[in-house]
Amino acid sequence: MPTPLLTLDGVSKSFGAVAALRDVRLELHAGEAHALVGENGAGKSTLVKILAGVHAPDAGTITLDGRPLLLDGPADARAAGIAVIYQEPTLFADLSVAENIFMGRQPLRSLRRVDYAAMRQRAAELFARLGVRLDPDRPARGLSIADQQLVEIAKAISLDARVLVMDEPTAALSGIEVERLFAVARSLRDAGTAVLFISHRFDEVFALCQTVTVMRDGRWVSTDPAEALTVDDVVRRMVGREVSAMYPKQDTTPGEPRLEVRGLTRRGVFDDVTFTVHAGEIVALAGLVGAGRSEVCRAVFGVDRHDAGEVAVDGSRLPNGDTAAAIRAGLALVPEDRRQQGLVMELSVERNTNLPRRWRLTCGGLLFGGDERRAAMTWAQRLQVKAGRLTDPVSTLSGGNQQKVVLAKWLATAPKVLIVDEPTRGIDVGTKAEVHRLLSQLAADGVAVLMVSSELPEVLGMADRVLVMHEGRLTADIPRARADEQSVMLAATGQAAAA
């Protein structure tokens, strides 16, 4: 057996009373892609941050080339040849794409002045290597999640890393973008880089990786060759139980029209979008990345103004661009980007949970902590949020538990219409089943659910109807009985006329 390039042995890490990692071991070999899988809260992100030099382990050792490796910060990790692509992009919004890629290591001219021309040229070469078109001079502010992730990937590749850690890098990418990324990852692997790949998408794990390590509750569970495992094997080890139904869709009888969208248009983004969601119905809004699905949801909720058309809830028309009116009418929006749009990361779990309805918990203009805490506790228990304390910052939670807090925040308002944009993006198989069960129960209770999803199995498994968008227009309205991968993809690529 060849000597590992990087080894973690007996690594443990606690945050207060919460043990995030306990006696974890991991071996990464040069020229190998190694998958790390586990539920949210299994400790994967903490392990990544230890490799990145963000956290120091409480116990255990890290060795590189057989020599002890001490990481006092991210700069040490980069100097050791460890590059990390995080699940959530961490860009400086007001800097250009090129400046973000080379932050802290900009090419210099005489008198230590930044050589912007060289920096732009290198950034352009990186994007060409990735097979994407991004302007190096474009500000990071306003980039889509997919483009932000591509900038992070370019940043990591620019380091010529010996160890490349990819933490859910494909969560917001389209199929074509994923293939481009995998082509780069395979070329790096074949050139001798050790790749640690973290993903909840098992097709990607088995397509890219030769070895799979499973973690559960902060502990190492198993390490095996990928060819010796099946998806069922991995799921069973991840959750410690059988996942009986990933898509527990309850049969419901749709009621009265609850959300009506008529001729909604935003010039250059989407055009003449018309649909209805009934009480007790889950309607999926499907399509390729860039089709306009999220933009329609933002306009419906009043985040963005529309140029034409109208939105009505229970027959009452909503004012254009007024989120407060939308909330009063019973709308709730769980956005695609939970960190930037769904949560205030510095605030506590309980404060985030109660943000949309704090006025209900006040008396004489004063907010009493006990009432806020009890309300948050109720929803934390109902959604099984795993947190050390409700007073802890929401940033300390895993991605899946952050998503539960966003859901709790809006469910606490007792919405008539729940809009969920990529509700299971970047969360594990066990939490996905819980979210699906929750959406199904809400529909059974009479809530109208509009769900945006890029995962076809989720669309087909949960939706009563599938609305498909292509280039800003609705191209199909497919009932559950007739919805399959072929019909949805035909409509998503503009090959089917609207029903």
Q: Is the pLDDT of residue 463 over 60?
A: yes
How many Cβ atoms from other residues are within 10 Å of residue 269's Cβ?
A: 15
The 10 Å CB-count burial string (b at 16+, else e) for 142-170 is ebebbbbbbbbbbbbbbbebbbbbbbbbb
The backbone torsions φ and ψ at residue 278, rounded to the nearest 5 degrees and listed phi first, read -95, 160
Distance CA 210, CA 479 (A): 40
How many Cβ atoms from other residues are within 10 Å of residue 204's Cβ?
A: 17
Distance CA 222, CA 216 (A): 10
Distance CA 494, CA 491 (A): 5
Distance CA 80, CA 92 (A): 24
Distance CA 107, CA 219 (A): 42
What pLDDT score does 319 carry? 96
What average pLDDT does the segment 269-291 reach? 93
Tokens of 223: 């390490």
Q: Is the pLDDT of residue 174 over 70?
A: no
Instruction: Say which residue, 149 or 406, is predicted with more confidence.
Output: 406
Task: Please give the distance of CA 190 from its chain centroid, rounded to a whole number.
Answer: 28
Q: Is the pLDDT of residue 479 over 70?
A: yes
Instruction: Return the amino acid letter for 399.
Output: G
Q: Is the pLDDT of residue 125 over 70?
A: yes
The length of the chain is 499
Question: How wide is the angle at C-alpha 496 spanned by C-alphas 494 and 499, nearest 5°?
Answer: 125
What average pLDDT does the segment 434-460 reach? 91
How many Cβ atoms from other residues are within 10 Å of residue 427's Cβ?
A: 24
Count of helix runs (H) and strand runs (E) in the chain: 16, 22
Listed by start position, the domains of the chain span 6-91+143-239, 257-492
Instruction: Return the amino acid letter for 98.
Output: A
Instruction: Say which residue, 182 or 36, is predicted with more confidence.
Output: 36
Tokens of 160: 């010529």
Tokens of 342: 């769904």
What does pLDDT average to over the chain? 87
Which segment of 114-118, 177-181, 254-258 scores lowest on mean pLDDT?
Answer: 177-181
What pLDDT score does 22 carry? 93
Q: Is the pLDDT of residue 172 over 80?
A: no
Q: Give 74's contacts (C-beta < 8 A, 6+ positions apart).
A: 52, 53, 54
Residue 318 DSSP code = P
Q: Is the pLDDT of residue 218 over 70?
A: yes
Distance CA 49, CA 56 (A): 9
Distance CA 295, CA 264 (A): 11
Q: Does domain 257-492 have CATH number 3.30.70.260?
A: no
- pLDDT bucket at 498, cuts 50 / 70 / 90: very low
Share of the chain above pLDDT 70, in %: 93
Question: Would you say the C-alpha torsion 66, 72, 73, 79 has a positive or negative sign?
Answer: negative
Q: Is 186 helix (H, G, I), strand (E, B) or coil?
A: helix
Topology match between the domains 6-91+143-239 and 257-492: yes
Q: Is the pLDDT of residue 499 over 50?
A: no
Question: How wide is the angle at C-alpha 383 spanned by C-alphas 390 and 358, nearest 5°?
Answer: 55
Q: Is the pLDDT of residue 134 over 90?
A: no
Q: Rounded to whole angstroms, what are the CA distances from 113 to 107, 108, 116, 125, 159?
A: 8, 5, 9, 22, 21
What percent of the chain is helix, strand and coil (3-state, nearest 5)? Answer: 35, 25, 35
- pLDDT bucket at 369, cuts 50 / 70 / 90: low
- pLDDT bucket at 397, cuts 50 / 70 / 90: confident
Q: Which CATH class is domain 6-91+143-239?
A: alpha beta
Is there a contact between 314 and 255 (Cβ–Cβ < 8 Å)? no
Q: Give 203's contacts (C-beta < 8 A, 6+ positions apart).
A: none
What pLDDT score does 364 carry? 58
What pLDDT score does 454 carry? 83
What pLDDT score does 191 carry? 83
Structural element, H or E, at residue 130: helix 116-130
Structural element, H or E, at residue 128: helix 116-130
Distance CA 497, CA 70 (A): 60
What pLDDT score does 361 carry? 61
- pLDDT bucket at 116, cuts 50 / 70 / 90: very high
Counting Cα atoms < 13 Å in the Cβ hemisphere of 460 gives 12
Which segment of 28-37, 201-210, 295-304 scores lowest on mean pLDDT?
Answer: 201-210
Q: Is the pLDDT of residue 5 over 80?
A: yes
Q: Give 10's contacts (C-beta < 8 A, 6+ positions apart).
A: 23, 24, 25, 59, 60, 61
How many Cβ atoms from other residues are within 10 Å of residue 72's Cβ?
A: 9
